[in-house]
A and B are shown apart, each in its own frame.
Chain A
Amino acid sequence: MTDRAVRRPASTARSFWGALPLLTLIIMIGPVLAGLFGTVLPAFGYLPAAGLGAFSIAPFTDLFAWNGIWAATRLSVTTGFAATFLSLAIVTLLMAGWSGTRALRWLETLLSPLLSVPHAATAFGIAFLIAPSGWIARMISPWLTGWDRPPDVLITQDPLGIALTLGLVTKEVPFLLLMALAAKGQSASTQRMRVAQSLGYGRVSGWLKSVFPVIYAQIHLPVLVVLAYSMSVVDVAMILGPTTPPPLSVQVVKWMSDPDLSKRLIASAAALWQLALVIAALGVWWIGERITARLGLAWVERGARNLRLDKTARPLGITLGTVSALSVLLGLLCLGVWSFAGFWGYPDALPQSLTPKNWARHWPDISDSLITTLLIAALSVAVAVTLVIACLEAEHRTGRSLSQKGLWLIYAPLLIPQIAFLPGVQTALLITGATSGFWPVSLMHVVFVLPYVFLSLTDPWRNWDPRIDTIARSLGTSPTRVLFTLRLPMLLRPILTAAAVGFAVSVGQYLPTLLAGGGRVATLTTEAVALSSGGDRRAIGAFGVAQTLAVIAPFAIATLLPYWMWRNRKGLHG
């Protein structure tokens, strides 16, 4: 009993746990800041690796003298705003018109797996659908269109970036919808809707006036992420975007991969210009939010019931939502068909035969890049999950939880466009003489995997019943044993789900793999995107399918493993 009288010095343990969130933050934000720094220097003419040591604003004058600059700038801005606005509009119409209905639940089931499919695979699928020689054209030809060869129109890679925008929308709708549905739980939406409808409001107007403001407050940051992403995306833009000139971000990559090192100066200047555009756009969006709030409040105060809105808004919402979901699904199916296609003449709706020959031919390449993909994903996910769990456990032990400001930091790597700091990372690796490759790529993946793992795991972790901890501790169990024998096993399912989310994020990364790897690390995604210019649909189809399977498999494991492990434990199957 003597140990009871001794006051245990808990301060060293506490400072250890207190330091963990800081460490995580450094791992996550450090490369971003270093990358920005490495972008700023060459943008002002300083690049010792290329023998350039004099500061100047020449890179910027060169950039603005490039004749594609304004077209590239316009593309970035228009596709960014259009994709974000359309995605948000579709999600809002769906939620407003169909909350709590079986139709929306059905759509949710359809959309959730799509969330994890890499952007590149989705974009290829869309391209295979809507191209003049694509599946849709084949299905309505020649009986409807009279085409017996592909019409000479630019549908994908159109100069206005419409295909690019649509491709982004189909991918961002599932993301925003799932975020909004998660926010719905904390909005008391059912009660609010009951009140609104009992006051005579229509479904859509009642929802927009009473529920939307709460939901939007919760998805505000994800919406900004969509805006920043859509403005600066590279892989989707290389597949669906115009080529002369390409969107700004694609042009940066072109300059970065030029063997002439001095091209990195203009690349860095363009990267900073892209960053400035994104910051300005976020500001404009922020002002738009304020104006919308003002107008919305006036609309609420007028008290109009807007019952007729339901008649148009509901069909519109479900139609757009279904078209968006189906285009991704059909696109993926089309990838699958092409990967097994034998001879497939235009305008036949289906290939004459299906054959495994394509797979056999491309398998050596696929398996090599698959192994690299899986290794990078496994490593970055392991690091990210460990850090996130350590942070959440630190929060539990120190009683200090993440503030709203902290949440902004979590979102920072997602809000700052990859194209703005990854060139700097590559330059920094070049300067330090590090041979780019597996390890820098894995570290960069951690930066992007961490936020998603954190966002996915935080709620289940915090919702764990703290009385379990109280009971176990009062039974004489140390905090560490509580963590390993109770909390982690009980949270096995959400932890595996978070890991699967992280895995999908890692598999889908294009730019970090390309730039931090110095072009020498070949993953499924970099290989697939590299194939895009060649136009070998069978190869692209096979890589796209492999990409999709590489993200679906972890989700299957995350679902089945807890089910199997706890098959005799009903209490863990909610």
Chain B
Amino acid sequence: MDNGLHLKAVEIYRDGQPLLQIDAQVGPGEILTVMGPSGSGKSTLLSFLTGHLAPAFTATGQVVLDGYDVTSQPPEHRKIGILFQDDLLFPHLSVGANLAFGLRGGTKSERQKTIETALSDVGLQGFETRDPATLSGGQKARGALMRVLLSDPKALLLDEAFSGLDTDRRAQIRDLTFDHARKKHLPVVMVTHDIDDANAAGGQVIQLGA
């Protein structure tokens, strides 16, 4: 069985000009770090993986997840979760409703229980009815992490996910994210410009040219 995330001969073009090419295999629980200067197409690569490539870009190659080619699937069918630099908790929903938004299936009480457990897992017990805007930066990041994990993704993408946090929170949230991803055997693609992130991930590093 071909588990994990496989980027098969992926090439991305901007307005017809080659932007980047990448060929990589990320096994379950492994972290692939993609580094490069701004403009090298790091974030474009992640847009391609989630299925949100902007019209100016075209791409060839395949994205194979757990043996299935998801290249032409719409984003909502890919089961590829993503975290950005900003938490992007939906501002009109409570913290609990944000988690429920991603959660699949279950009866009402099961869902409540799952959300309660997920929140207390990351030190946010009792935060269900809170307004996301009243949370600290670290609390928001943990909320966002739990939201994506509850949606039961088969792969996780990190787009400069820790850049917005101050130095001491940063390592803590990073470790928490990596721990959860490994525990769930998720292949992870992390885009970053920070070598500390790459070192902490300890996996393969791909450098994109400008």
Chain A residues within CB distance 8 Å of chain B: 1, 3-5, 7-8, 10, 399-400, 465-479, 485-486, 489-490, 566, 568-572
Would you call A570 and B50 a contact (CB within 8 A)?
no
**Also in contact, A5 and B69, with CB within 8 A (given A467-B86, A473-B75, A476-B151):** yes
When distances are taken between beta carbons in the complex, the residues of chain B under 8 Å from A473 are: 50-52, 74-76
Segment from B77-85, B109-117, B185-193 that makes contact with A: B77-85
**13 A-B contacts (beta carbon < 8 Å):** A1-B66, A4-B68, A10-B74, A466-B52, A469-B52, A470-B50, A470-B75, A474-B75, A476-B104, A479-B76, A490-B92, A571-B91, A571-B131
State the CA gap A479–B77 with chains docked (Å).
11
B92–A569 contact, CB under 8 A? yes
A469 to B51, alpha carbons, bound, how many Å?
11
Nearest opposing residue in chain B for A465, CB measure: B88
Q: Which 3 A-B pairs have the closest CB atoms?
A: A571-B91, A473-B75, A570-B133
Contact pick for A470, options B73, B82, B133, B151, CB 8 Å: B82
Asked if B127 lies at the interface with its beta carbon under 8 angstroms from chain A, I say no
Q: Report Cα–Cα, A465/B82, bound state, in Å.
A: 15
The answer to whether B70 and A475 touch across the interface, beta carbons within 8 angstroms, is: no
Give B contacts to A, CB under 8 Å.
47, 50-52, 54-55, 65-66, 68-70, 72-82, 84, 86, 88, 90-92, 101-102, 104, 131-134, 147-148, 151, 153, 157
Q: Is the pair B82, A474 in contact by a Cβ cutoff of 8 Å?
A: yes
Q: How close is A366's CB to chain B, nearest CB, in angstroms? A: 39
Interfacial chain A residues near B70, Cβ < 8 Å: 4
Distance of A143 Cα from B38 Cα, bound (Å)? 75
A10 to B47, CA, bound (A): 19
Q: Are B88 and A468 in contact (CB under 8 A)?
A: yes
* Inter-subunit contact B92/A474 (CB<8 Å): no
B90 touches A5 (CB 8 A): no
Contact A472 B101, CB 8 Å, known A467-B86, A568-B131: yes
Complex contact A475–B81 (CB within 8 A)? yes
A1-B68, A474-B50, A474-B153 given as contacts; is B91 within 8 A of A569 (CB)?
yes
B77 and A8 contacting across the interface, CB-CB below 8 Å: yes
Closest B residue by C-beta to A472: B101
Which residue of chain A has the shortest Cβ distance to B79 in the bound complex? A476
Of the residues B51, B54, B73, B131, contact of A570 by C-beta under 8 Å: B131
With both beta carbons as reference points, the residue of chain A lying nearest to B92 in the complex is identified as: A489
Cβ contact within 8 Å between B54 and A399: yes
Tell whether, in the assembled complex, residue B84 and residue A467 are in contact, meaning their CB atoms are under 8 Å apart.
yes
Most buried by B among A465, A466, A469, A471: A471
Report A-chain residues with C-beta under 8 Å of the C-beta of B54.
399
Question: In the complex the two chains form, what is the Cα distance from A5 to B70 in whole Å?
Answer: 7
Q: Is the CB–CB distance between A8 and B50 below 8 Å?
A: no
Q: Using known A-B contacts A8-B73, A474-B153, determine if residue A570 contacts B134 with beta carbons closer than 8 Å.
A: yes
Contact call A467/B88, Cβ cutoff below 8 A = yes
User: Chain A: which residue is nearest B81 at the CB level?
Assistant: A474
Are A569's CB and B76's CB within 8 A?
A: no
Contact A569 B82 (CB under 8 A): no
A572→B93 CA distance, assembly (Å): 10
Query: What residues of A have a CB within 8 angstroms of the CB of B74 in the complex?
Result: 8, 10, 473, 479
Smallest CB-CB separation from A481: which chain B residue? B76
- How many residue pairs link A and B with beta carbons under 8 A? The number is 99
**CB-contact partner of B133 in A471, A485, A571, under 8 A:** A571
Report yes or no: A474 in contact with B84, Cβ–Cβ below 8 A: no
B77 touches A477 (CB 8 A): no
CA distance A383 to B197 in the complex (A): 51
Which one of B73, B102, B131 contacts A4 once the chains associate, using CB atoms below 8 Å? B73
Contacts A7-B73, A466-B52 aside, 14 further interface pairs with beta carbons under 8 A come to A1-B66, A5-B68, A8-B73, A467-B88, A468-B88, A473-B76, A474-B76, A474-B80, A474-B151, A474-B153, A479-B76, A485-B101, A490-B90, A569-B91
Q: How far is the CA of A470 from the CA of B85 in the complex (A)?
A: 13
Tell me, rounded to whole Å, the shortest Cβ–Cβ distance linking B125 to chain A: 20
**In the complex, which of the residues A5, A469, A474, A490 contacts B91, with contact meaning CB atoms closer than 8 Å?**
A490
- The residue of chain A having its C-beta at the shortest distance from the C-beta of B46 within the complex is A470
**Given A476-B151, A478-B76; A566-B52 close (CB under 8 Å):** no
B residues near A399, Cβ cutoff 8 Å: 54-55
Specify the chain A residue showing the minimal Cβ separation from B91: A571
Task: List residues of chain B with CB within 8 A of the CB of A566.
Answer: 92
- B-side contacts of A486, CB under 8 Å: 90, 92
Once the chains are docked, how many angstroms separate the CA of A466 from the CA of B65? 24
A170 to B79, CA, bound (A): 58
Question: Which B residues are CB-close (under 8 A) to A477?
Answer: 76, 101
Residue of B66, B70, B80, B91 with highest tally of chain A CB at under 10 A? B91
Chain A positions within 8 Å of B91 at CB level: 490, 569, 571-572
Contact, CB under 8 Å: B73 / A571: no
A472–B153 alpha-carbon span in the complex (Å): 12
Contact check, B101 vs A475: say whether CB atoms are below 8 A apart: yes
Q: B72 contacts A7, CB within 8 Å?
A: yes
**In the complex, what distance in Å separates the CA atom of A547 from the CA atom of B80?**
54
Pick from A1, A469, A474, A568 the residue with the most CB of B within 10 Å. A474
> A471 contacts which chain B residues (CB < 8 A)?
82, 84, 88, 148
Give the residue name and chain of the B residue nearest to A492 (CB).
Answer: B92
Which of chain A's residues have a CB closer than 8 A to the CB of B81?
474-475
> Is the CB–CB distance between B133 and A476 below 8 Å?
no
Q: How far is the CA of A571 from the CA of B86 in the complex (A)?
A: 13
**In the assembled complex, which residues on chain A have CB atoms less than 8 Å from the CB atom of B90?**
468, 472, 486, 490
Q: Which residue of A lies closest to B73 (CB)?
A: A4
Task: Determine if A476 and B76 form an interchain contact, defined as CB atoms under 8 angstroms apart.
Answer: yes
Interfacial chain B residues near A571, Cβ < 8 Å: 91-92, 131-133
> In the complex, what residue of chain A is closest to B74 when comparing beta carbons?
A8
Cross-interface CB contact of A569 among B72, B133, B148, cutoff 8 Å: B133
Given the complex, which residues of B lie within 8 Å of A485, measured CB to CB? Answer: 101
The interface residues of chain A lying within 8 Å CB-to-CB of B148 are: 471, 474-475
